[in-house]
């Protein structure tokens, strides 16, 4: 060890997720320099002069360290709320009933269009802070509530500002093909023309990391989705898709055909599409919060994903209508309860596989050479992250070696 480390954390167990199981290391140690992990292993394997060559030694006082959680599917930039729709669903209205009556996504579009950029940021930051407090060190944030050039741009700009304000990494996804805005009523193909036209300009401003669409009966057809994906491919942008949530329109297979990063929701995905996802390396992003809030009964094909080796990520889907969920550990718990994931699968889903779903290869595990994103949890065993339904489990959160958010 020729240089001084920026930090060394001792006296905790490590769930490295490197290798089989949790990759557990009892009485472990983490060292980092310049935002990158430089030592991950048993404390007994540290060089004899490690503490003397470290700028800051942190005694964790027990508990567990995991990689920083990665929320790979959110819509957290929005204005207003849709609590009234929650009430309507409890009274018997379906998601599609509400959408077709002018509610749903379009109602949030009206609120977003009415908010200026600073107002939108002020409304969105508390949600991002809540996710951060619960261990999320990387967030994906989609547009899709603007549905015109200026307001989609506004949403993407706010998403970037969220990351800057909190000192975390935010990946932005262009979701112009989320719903049909009122001014394009009856002209879905014309609207897709506009969505495709806006994309190069938004990318030129550095606002787009990936491209998404909502391929569904109340969204856009596979043919319209294909046009959006072709525009993304022409700009060398990766794609992902809201796929097969309410019906099987072949969305997951379409995404796999484009080498997509992920197919998300996937409740109605069939076995042929699962095989296509496996061949393409497309991640299945499970969103149990929406499943829970909509009281759905069609589960994603978890057994088929396992059988064919499709990686399963877990995300909050934080949004105002169908998943007002502000905790990734709670999403992990719901994935265990509703989808029968094991706690280990759920934790990998919110770390290792979530990183893959965003095309990120520098995080998601505790391994020397990866980003020093990690969380110190007040737990006795990793399964507690899925066992507890809420609570202050995260003692401290580190992003690139620096503590962020509340530190007790």
Binding residues for N-formimidoyl-L-glutamate: 145, 319, 321
Cα gap 130→70, rounded to integer Å: 14
Q: Which residue in 404, 406, 408, 407 sits closest to 137, CA to CA?
A: 404
Q: Which residue in 210, 291, 289, 297 sits closest to 255, CA to CA?
A: 210
Cα gap 258→255, rounded to integer Å: 5
DSSP string, 304-353: HHHHHT--EEE----BTTTB----HHHHHHHHHHHH---HHHHHHHTTHH
DSSP state of 220: B
Residue 207 neighbours by CB distance under 10 Å: 18
Cα gap 397→129, rounded to integer Å: 12
Give the dihedral of Cα atoms 115, 241, 309, 273; nearest 10 deg.
150
Q: Which residues carry a binding-site annotation for Zn(2+)?
A: 73, 75, 242, 317
Cα gap 360→376, rounded to integer Å: 22
Tokens representing residue 271 in the block: 């076995």
Q: Is 296 helix (H, G, I), strand (E, B) or coil?
A: coil
Q: Is 164 helix (H, G, I), strand (E, B) or coil?
A: helix
Q: Which residues carry a binding-site annotation for Fe(3+)?
A: 73, 75, 242, 317
CB 371 within 8 A of CB 354: no
DSSP state of 122: H
Cα gap 132→71, rounded to integer Å: 10
Q: What are phi and psi of 390, to 5 degrees?
A: 100, 180
CA distances to 82, 127, 285, 345 from 351, in Å: 30, 20, 12, 10
Cα gap 109→75, rounded to integer Å: 12
Cα gap 211→189, rounded to integer Å: 18
Q: Which residues carry a binding-site annotation?
A: 73, 75, 82, 145, 178, 242, 245, 317, 319, 321-322
CA distances to 4, 17, 203, 383 from 377, in Å: 26, 15, 38, 11
Q: Which residues carry a binding-site annotation for 4-imidazolone-5-propanoate?
A: 82, 145, 178, 245, 322
């Amino acid at each position: 060890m020729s240089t001084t480390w920026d930090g060394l954390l001792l006296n905790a167990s490590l769930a490295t997720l490197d290798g089989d199981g949790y990759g557990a290391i009892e009485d472990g140690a983490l060292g980092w320099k310049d935002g990158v992990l430089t030592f991950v292993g048993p404390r007994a394997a540290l060089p004899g002069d490690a503490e003397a060559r470290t700028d800051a030694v942190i005694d964790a006082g027990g508990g567990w360290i995991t990689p920083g959680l990665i929320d790979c599917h959110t819509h957290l930039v929005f204005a207003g709320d849709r609590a009234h729709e929650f009430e309507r669903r409890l009274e018997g209205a379906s998601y599609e009933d509400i959408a077709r009556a002018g509610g749903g996504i379009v109602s949030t579009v009206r609120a977003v269009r009415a908010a200026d950029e600073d107002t939108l940021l002020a409304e969105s930051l508390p949600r991002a802070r809540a996710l951060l407090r619960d261990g999320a060190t990387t967030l994906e944030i989609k547009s899709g509530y603007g549905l015109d050039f200026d307001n989609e741009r506004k949403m993407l700009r706010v998403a970037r500002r969220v990351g800057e304000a909190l000192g975390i990494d935010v990946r932005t996804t262009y979701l112009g093909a989320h719903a049909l805005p009122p001014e394009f009523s009856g002209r879905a193909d014309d609207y897709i023309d506009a969505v495709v036209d806006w994309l190069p300009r938004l990318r030129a401003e550095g606002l787009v990391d990936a491209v998404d669409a909502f391929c569904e009966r109340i969204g856009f057809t596979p043919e319209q989705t294909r046009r959006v994906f072709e525009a993304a491919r022409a700009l060398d942008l990766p794609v992902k898709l809201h796929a097969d949530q309410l019906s099987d329109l072949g969305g997951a297979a379409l995404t796999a055909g484009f080498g997509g990063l992920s197919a998300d929701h996937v409740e109605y995905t069939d076995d042929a599409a699962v095989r296509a996802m496996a061949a393409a390396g497309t991640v299945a992003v499970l969103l149990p919060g929406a499943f829970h809030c909509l009281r759905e009964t069609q589960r994603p094909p978890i057994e088929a994903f396992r059988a064919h080796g499709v990686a399963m990520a877990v995300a909050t889907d934080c949004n105002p209508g169908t998943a007002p969920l502000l905790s990734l550990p709670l999403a992990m718990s719901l994935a265990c309860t509703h989808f029968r994931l094991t706690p280990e699968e759920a934790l990998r889903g919110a770390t290792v596989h979530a990183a893959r779903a965003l095309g990120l290869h520098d995080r998601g595990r505790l391994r020397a050479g990866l980003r020093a994103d990690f969380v110190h949890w007040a737990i006795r065993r990793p399964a507690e992250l899925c066992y507890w339904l809420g609570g202050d489990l995260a003692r401290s959160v580190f992003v690139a070696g620096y503590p962020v958010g509340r530190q007790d």
